[in-house]
């Protein structure tokens, strides 16, 4: 699936495949002299293909072209400090997160805003084996569903949004390896539609999924957040970062194999990633990024209607915010007005 990226990778970045590999601890290309300095981006997860656009923007020099001397891609993961903390304290200039995480931080006083969204649909899904499919929230009743501790709040809100009594389902605490689903220990698995389902498919399992977003949980995801101070005082720098991101993600959505190759062989080379699975994941995430609206209005844009749906969904989850407290999409609108060629 997807075209071969090997030939393309030989020419990206001008200095070979390893010339601009982001690091957790140091500038990825500190020899540049960009006026904005190094751009620190806090990723929402480990360095898999979820961040294909960032890898391509790094490799192809889009951050440098936007005025940065380099980029520092700071990995996330279960043991990492929260994304909102890194952005609020200035460790990262921009963070990739989700409305529930950012919204919770704002209600606790963090001066943050969401300025755009990579995923127009939340990737959370319920996965099951196709031979015993679960295709809707109601079909979970009486079943055993594996749910990770980090996803408890989303799970609870999802059940509430669908008026399901939690006691009608047996929730089984699990980690992230979906092995218990394949052995019949659980009937369903809480997952990213882009991730665990594809990890099982490459192992020969036939799985079925349904998106929470299609069942009363319409949150955007992989959202960009910055501090209120950055919006007020560093607007040009925010626009520069978004310009590089848009260029990187336009390339990533055009060629799912390119970001997969970079994830498996460069940025996540120590993670033991399966490149075939990463291509599948990249292909699936592009479906969450490219919609009729983003094709028309530009990547990362969020319609007013979707903003209001997010606010209503968060309220069900106990995060009560007005749209202007959580979102500031004015920078993205300005950027596309100034540079319509980015659409």
3-state SS string over 277-332?
Answer: HHHHHHHHHHHHHCCHHHHHHCCCCCCHHHHHHHHHHHHHCCCCCCHHHHECCHHH
Q: In sequence order, what are the beta bridge partners of 147? A: 173
Q: What span, in angstroms and rounded, lies between the C-alpha atoms of 97 and 94?
A: 10
In the chain, which ranges are continuous DSSP H helix? 6-9, 52-59, 62-65, 83-88, 99-107, 152-161, 179-182, 196-201, 228-233, 235-254, 256-262, 275-289, 292-297, 304-316, 323-326, 330-338
**Residues 6+ away with beta carbon under 8 Å from 126:** 134, 137, 140, 145, 188, 189, 190, 191, 209, 210, 212
Query: What letters, b where the CB count within 10 A reaches 16 and e where it falls short, cover 97-115?
Result: bbbbbbbbbbeeebebbbb
User: Looking at residue 155, what is its pLDDT?
Assistant: 97
CA–CA gap between residue 219 and residue 310 (Å, rounded): 5
DSSP label of 33: -
Provide the pLDDT for residue 43.
98
pLDDT of residue 27: 38
Q: How many CB atoms lie within 10 A of CB 235?
A: 15
pTM of this structure: 0.88
Positions in the chain short of pLDDT 50: 1-32
Contacts of 119 (CB under 8 A, 6+ apart): 220, 221, 222, 285, 288, 289
Whole-angstrom Cα distance, residue 67 to residue 265?
27
Rounded distance between C-alpha atoms, residue 166 and residue 295, angstroms: 39
The DSSP bridge partners found for residue 104 are none
Structure tokens at 126: 């319920």
State both tokens at 336. 């596309």
- What is the distance between the terminal CA atoms of the chain, rounded to a whole angstrom? 26
> Beta strand 170-174 with 112-119: parallel, antiparallel or unpaired?
unpaired
What is the model's pLDDT at position 241?
98
How many whole angstroms separate alpha carbon 24 and alpha carbon 258?
Answer: 22
Task: Give the pLDDT score at 29.
Answer: 36
Beta carbons within 8 Å of 184's beta carbon, 6+ residues apart: none
| Angle at 94 (CA atoms; ends 235, 8), nearest 5 degrees | 105
């Amino acid at each position: 699936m997807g075209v071969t990226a090997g030939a393309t990778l030989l020419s990206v970045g001008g200095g070979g495949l390893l010339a601009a590999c982001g690091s957790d601890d140091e500038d990825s290309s500190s020899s540049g002299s960009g006026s904005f300095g190094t751009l620190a981006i806090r990723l929402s997860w480990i360095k898999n293909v979820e961040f294909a656009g960032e890898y391509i923007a790094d490799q192809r020099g889009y951050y440098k072209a936007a005025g940065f001397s380099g980029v520092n891609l700071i990995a996330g993961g279960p043991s990492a400090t929260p994304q909102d903390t890194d952005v609020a304290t200035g460790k990262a200039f921009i963070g990739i997160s989700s409305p529930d995480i950012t919204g919770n931080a704002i209600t606790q006083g963090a001066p943050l805003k969401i300025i755009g969204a990579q995923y127009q649909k939340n990737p959370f899904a319920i996965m099951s084996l196709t031979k015993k499919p679960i295709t809707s929230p109601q079909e979970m009743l009486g079943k055993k569903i594996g749910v990770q501790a980090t996803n408890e709040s989303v799970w609870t809100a999802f059940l509430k949004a669908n008026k399901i009594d939690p006691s009608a389902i047996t929730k089984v605490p699990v980690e992230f390896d979906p092995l218990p689903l394949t052995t019949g220990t659980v009937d369903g698995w809480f997952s990213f539609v882009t991730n665990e389902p594809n990890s099982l498919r490459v192992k020969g399992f036939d799985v079925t999924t349904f998106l929470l977003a299609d069942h009363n949980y319409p949150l955007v995801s992989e959202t960009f957040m910055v501090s209120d101070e950055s919006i007020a005082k560093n607007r040009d720098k925010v626009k520069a970062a978004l310009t590089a991101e848009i260029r990187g993600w336009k390339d990533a959505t055009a060629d799912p194999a390119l970001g997969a190759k970079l994830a498996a062989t460069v940025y996540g080379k120590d993670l033991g990633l399966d490149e075939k699975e990463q291509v599948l994941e990249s292909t699936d995430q592009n479906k969450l990024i490219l919609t009729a609206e983003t094709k028309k209005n530009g990547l990362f844009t969020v319609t007013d209607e979707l903003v209001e749906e997010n606010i209503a969904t968060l309220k069900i989850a106990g995060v009560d915010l007005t749209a202007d407290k959580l979102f500031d999409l004015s920078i993205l609108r300005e950027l596309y007005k100034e540079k319509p060629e980015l659409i």
